[in-house]
Amino acid sequence: MRYQIRHAIVKYAADTILEDVNFEIHDHEKIAIIGRNGCGKTTLLKLISGEVEMANPDSDEECGIVMAGKQRIGYLRQISFEDSSITVEEEILKVFAPVFSCEKRMQELTEQMKTDTSEHLLKEYAALQAKMEALRGYTYRQDMETMFQRFGFALKDLQRPIGTFSGGQQTKVAFVKLLLSQPDIMLLDEPTNHLDMPTIEWLEGYLKNYPKAVVIVSHDRMFLDRVIDVTYEIEYHRIRRYPGNYTAFLRQKEEALAKQEKDYEAQQAEIKRLTDWIEKWKNTPTKVAATRSKRKVIEHMVLIEKPRKFDTKAFQGQFLPQTASYHDVLSVRGLQIGYDSVLSKVSFELHRMERIAVIGENGKGKSTLLKTLVGELPKLGGQFSFGTGVEWGYFDQQAAVAESQNPKMTIMEDFWEEYPTLKEVEVRSALGSFLFSGDDVYKELGQLSGGEKVRLALCKMFKRRPNLLILDEPTNHMDIVGKEALEQMLKSYTGTVLFVSHDRYFIKEIATGILDFQADKVQYYPCTYEEYLEQKQKEAQGLIGGNKTNAAGNSGKSRNVAGEAADNRNISQVGSQSNPPTLSDVFDKKTYYNPGKIISRLKQQLVKYEKMLGESEERLAELQMQQMDTALATDYEKLTELEQAIAAEQSNQESILDRLVETETELDEMQEKTV
């Protein structure tokens, strides 16, 4: 065990943030801390890093923090560099101070050994060589440049002063420094924010194979599923440990709640039974001893806490467009976007009730496209046009979380300023659907968290009831429950959606089409995210040439390609196994009416199904073992292929089981008839 917190309490002023915290970090563990916004996740990271202290350090010998020796703890946070005038390279090289110190001493020893070959000098030199290897001192330059480029920088950026980079870029530089320092315990607070998909996928593989411990606060569900192996949830100020990733946590939590409810109800029923018995016989002389005994049973019971329902409070903004648009919502033809120069050239068609996700690497023009469409940036060439009856609403996450020009203005005042004709009850109703209720509406804008600012911006946009939503990173700063609520809202929305996102799970749930900003082109895929991944895999393998045009005229062809790919996948991945035969393949009751032979045939078929099921289970186990191979952590295409194969095999098993059950039922019926 590297690190342990026992029975800690954390307070801010008089408010208890965390109580009875028991937290452990073991070697190589990849730990997730999850929970609602404001529950204390970042506070727990600060407690681990030493920035926050326990409120009860001396209350009990069982309380405290213990470490296995000296642990180097690295914490990624929003920081400002001490000297913004130095270059990025100079800042990053600070990480390698131990390497330079070791290198300097080795040079000194080399000079000494020209005239002195003492054994102790040779031993010291050998020890320093081993230390250099452990510190990766011979490859630090290559490591730095590789890591730097992985985060979307060019090598020439190493020579730029830090102060010339944006806040998000400076956070990336801090991230590079942290990864290169390789701490014993790495603390990451929302590490995927501001990262594009390729970088997130690379980071998944890096952290999965990181040889030391990692503790992550994140709302990225797919990232959590792919990286972590232990989940801690904070709920109602308490923390609980669950083995496994996010999906495993959800299953275990459901099971634990069901068990607690069952145990609680059983105990309450027993207490009532004993209490009723006591009340009935308490005045009966012959029952005095028995009454006393039953009271003691109740007194010595370890009472089971009444289960609390999940903290699933989320905004409930359900709305319909004020007016419906026509079928053709947006036409984009050869649109050139950028600032001083052209970043990308875009062509696609958007139709009513479609939900297109705009994805790709940072810096390719995704947000620029949205800003051009809403008129914040001029087009550099080409054309675009909105269809008849289109009324759009635009959400810009950067503008939503930016510092307000009027930080003293309250939430209600800000909303009322945009909708001055509304009555107070209408304003409160609108804000209440986005979790601003009671005195919350009097909170000042300057006091709002990033998540609260996002909710307020969405609330104001949805109140206009547009029929086209243009959303730039709407899930940033949202917790998981908030993301799920937004997913349900958009799924039930009868308008059209064009959105930029790096949240793969959100894209998978929402998107009906993918606009992919690639290195050299922008390509439209009129299919779901999972079908898009399948098609990209085929393209990478050279099996298909990809969608050769971005125009809507070829969308049907692309859909067919995706569909055929899915069909081919189901055939190839399950192997040569055909669909299990039906009962009609076993016998035809109208023409074959020998009960004895029918029973014999059914028994033979039952044996066959059981064999098929066993073979399927072996194939599934083998696929799942391949999926757990750490060597595949960075091979996203292979992991996707395995996930598809597992799903296909599971479907095959279900089909076999259905036939098996059907055969067993028919066999039982036939045997009853022959008795």
Cβ atoms 369, 344 nearer than 8 A:
yes
Task: Say if residue 291 is in the same domain as residue 238.
Answer: no
Q: Do residues 81 and 152 lie in contact, with contact meaning Cβ atoms separated by under 8 Å?
A: no
Q: For residues 550 and 377, is the Cβ–Cβ distance under 8 A? A: no
Structural domain boundaries, residue 301: 249-308
Per-residue pLDDT tens for 458-467?
Answer: 889 888 899 9
Distance CA 572, CA 68 (A): 50
- Lowest mean pLDDT of 136-145, 165-174, 355-364, 511-520, name the range: 165-174
Calpha distance 539→546 (Å, rounded): 6
**Mean pLDDT score of the chain:** 83
Residue 592 CA to its chain's centroid (Å): 57
Instruction: Please name the residues in contact with 220: beta carbons below 8 A apart, sequence gap of 6 or more.
Output: 192, 200, 503, 504, 505
Domain assignment of residue 563, yes or no? no
According to DSSP, the residues that pair with 335 across neighbouring strands are 346
Average pLDDT over residues 607-623: 81
**By C-alpha distance, which of 628, 632, 654 is closest to 574?**
654
Name every residue whose Cβ is closer than 8 Å to that of residue 537 and which is 6 or more positions away in sequence.
637, 640, 641
Q: Are residues 294 and 350 in the same domain?
A: no
Asked whether the predicted pLDDT for residue 80 surpasses 70, the reply is no
pLDDT for res 347: 95
pLDDT in the model for residue 663:
82
Collapse the DSSP code of 577 into the 3-class scheme (helix H, G, I; strand E, B; otherwise coil) and give the result: coil
Q: Is residue 106 part of a domain?
A: no
> Mean per-residue pLDDT for 165-170?
74
- pLDDT value of residue 15: 81
Q: Could you tell me if 239 and 254 lie in one domain?
A: no
Flag whether pLDDT at 17 surpasses 50: yes
Q: Are strands 381-386 and 355-360 parallel, antiparallel or unpaired?
A: unpaired
Dist. CA 503–CA 492, nearest whole Å: 20
- Alpha carbon distance, N-terminus to C-terminus of the chain: 66
Residue 516 has pLDDT above 70, yes or no: yes
Residue 39 has pLDDT above 70, yes or no: yes
Q: What is the largest CA-CA distance in the chain?
A: 105
What whole-number distance in Å separates Cα of residue 637 and Cα of residue 641?
Answer: 6
**Alpha-carbon gap, residue 266 to 264, rounded angstroms:** 5
| 3-state SS track over 85-148 | CCEHHHHHHHHHHHHHHHHHHHHHHHHHCCCCCCHHHHHHHHHHHHHHHHCCCCCHHHHHHHHH
579 phi and psi angles, rounded to 5 deg: -60, 140
Examine the domain organization and report whether 412 and 503 are in the same domain: yes
Statement to judge: residues 515 and 431 lie in one domain: yes
Q: Are residues 218 and 258 in the same domain?
A: no
Q: Is 124 inside a domain boundary?
A: no
In terms of domains, do 229 and 299 share one? no
pLDDT in tens, 318-345: 678 888 889 999 999 999 999 888 889 9
Together in a domain, 283 and 333: no
- Same domain assignment for residues 230 and 339: no
CA distances from 134 to 2, 109, 139, 246 (A): 20, 19, 11, 34
Residue 626 in this model has a pLDDT that exceeds 50: yes
Amino acid 233: pLDDT: 94
Whether residue 629 is predicted with pLDDT greater than 80 in this model: the reply is no
**pTM as predicted:** 0.64
Last residue of a domain, one of 225, 243, 261: 243
pLDDT digits (tens, 9 = 90+) for 499-515: 999 899 999 999 999 99
Does 635 score more than 60 pLDDT? yes
In a domain, 90, yes or no: no
Question: Do 253 and 266 have their domain in common?
Answer: yes
What DSSP character marks residue 597?
H
Share in percent of the chain as helix, strand, coil (round to 5): 50, 15, 30
Q: Is residue 79 part of a domain?
A: no
Q: What is the pLDDT of residues 281-290, one digit of tens each?
A: 888 887 888 8
**CB 667 within 8 Å of CB 601:** no
Q: For residue 289, what are its two tokens?
A: 């001893």
pLDDT at position 560: 39
Q: Does residue 45 lie in a domain region?
A: yes
Give CA–CA dist 189/216, Å, rounded. 6
Of all residues in the chain, what percent carry a pLDDT higher than 70?
86
Whether 336 and 408 share a structural domain: yes
Q: Given a cut of 50, is residue 562 above it in pLDDT?
A: no
List all residues 6 or more positions away from 240 whose beta carbon is below 8 Å from its beta carbon: 232, 233
Output the pLDDT for position 674: 67
Higher-confidence residue: 350 or 583? 350
Cβ neighbors of 407 (< 8 A, separation 6 or more) are 444, 445, 446
